[in-house]
Amino acid sequence: MLPTFPNTSHWLVRISEVFGDCTAEIMAALGAAVVRKLGTEYYLISMGNPALLMDSPAAMFLRWKMPVQHSWPCNPEQMPSFVEKAAQALFQKFAGQEFQAIFMGPLDAGLANPYYRKLASNLRGRTLQLFPPQIAGFKEIESQNSGVETLFCLVGKEGLFAGRVTPRAANGFYPGGTKFISQAASDTISRAGAKIAEALHYLLLNRSVPAAGKHWLELGASPGGMTSELLKRDYRVTAVDRAPLDKRLDGVTKLQFILGDVTEYRPKAIFDALLCDMNGPALESIAQVKRLAAHLVNGGVVIFTLKTPGAVGFSEINGLYNVVVQTAAEKGLKLVAKTHLTYNRLEFTLFFEKQSNSAA
């Protein structure tokens, strides 16, 4: 079921820099016009049909989207008493309206200068003092109901932008997108660990994640970054790859490693979830997911990395995506969500769920 979008003509959307060359085609698919670029990845756009933000070929290129129901174009660093004035303006605009929480973030989260991250925190603190206790008392950002509106705000050198939208429609619990997962720990095997951690966080927008103790089948596991992250979450993992796993995973309980080609793997077990981050052509990878879906429980989740090497530009990427989704559907795997995560490069993460009436 698609989320309901506010009937607002102006939106703030985020497009990863790696797809900057596709911006014109993305806007055409949305029937939108760029009003102004903000920061390095945000675009203030004007459009007539907000439903296209979810249901169009452009949708998976949009990392985050927010209706602009209030804006204050200015340079906060040069605006005396910016926090107080902005907080009062937000209260005047949104007081008495229904939403579950208020969260704020910087327009350019990756900037080395922490000024706007601190400014967003200070502005949220002052704004919450003006709103009722049930809103002011909402502390845990990941405890939001993904189907209930939140007041999101982004602030940067171009000013303040705010709007009410559900986290699911915005494509993230956090202002600007998904939760950043650090990969700086000394025991990190690869960036893929952060990628699956972010993917599981994102999945909560659309459905529950598999409970601890559930059994995952992982295709293309080497060197083991994702495997390690799943094990940390107390899952059982059967991992398959032609290349060995990192030595740090030797002898780990709850892990069975199959050294061999995925195409030759013939499991006897039934799995609760399937993870595929295989290198190589996407159509070959989804063919193996389709084959092995017979060993997935009804309602089981599939997390699939759609890798796009060989697909050039917006149209070819979407063509590849459509074939992958259709191939999955042939085995009863229904697309639940799609997105471009922080740790995705020229690739997307797709989420499927096995339907109870699918054939074995």
CATH number of the structural domain spanning residue 280: 3.40.50.150
- Strand 10-15: give its sheet, edge to edge: 32-38, 42-47, 10-15, 62-67
* One domain for residues 140 and 94: yes
Among 320, 312, 316, 232, smallest CA distance to 304 is for: 320
Asked if the structure places residue 184 within a domain, the reply is: no
Tell me: the pLDDT tens digits for 106-154? Answer: 998 666 678 999 999 999 999 999 999 999 888 889 899 999 999 999 9
Asked if the structure places residue 55 within a domain, the reply is: yes
* One domain for residues 132 and 210: no
* One domain for residues 146 and 215: no
Residue 272 one-letter amino acid? D
Count: domains in the chain: 2
Domain boundary among 138, 170, 202: 170
Q: From residue 134, how far is each of 27, 103, 131, 151 by CA, in Å?
A: 38, 14, 8, 13
* One domain for residues 254 and 154: no
Q: Which domain holds residue 202?
A: 192-354
* One domain for residues 137 and 249: no
With a cut of 60, say whether residue 265 has pLDDT above it: yes
Among 302, 273, 268, smallest CA distance to 285 is for: 302
* One domain for residues 82 and 154: yes
Domain boundary among 170, 204, 223: 170
Asked if the structure places residue 178 within a domain, the reply is: no
pTM above 0.85, yes or no: yes
* One domain for residues 112 and 213: no
* One domain for residues 163 and 202: no
* One domain for residues 196 and 159: no
Beta bridge partners of 164: 151
Instruction: Assign residue 134 the CATH number of its domain.
Output: 3.30.2130
Tell me: the pLDDT tens digits for 5-60? Answer: 666 789 999 999 999 999 999 999 999 999 999 988 999 999 999 999 988 999 99
* One domain for residues 166 and 197: no
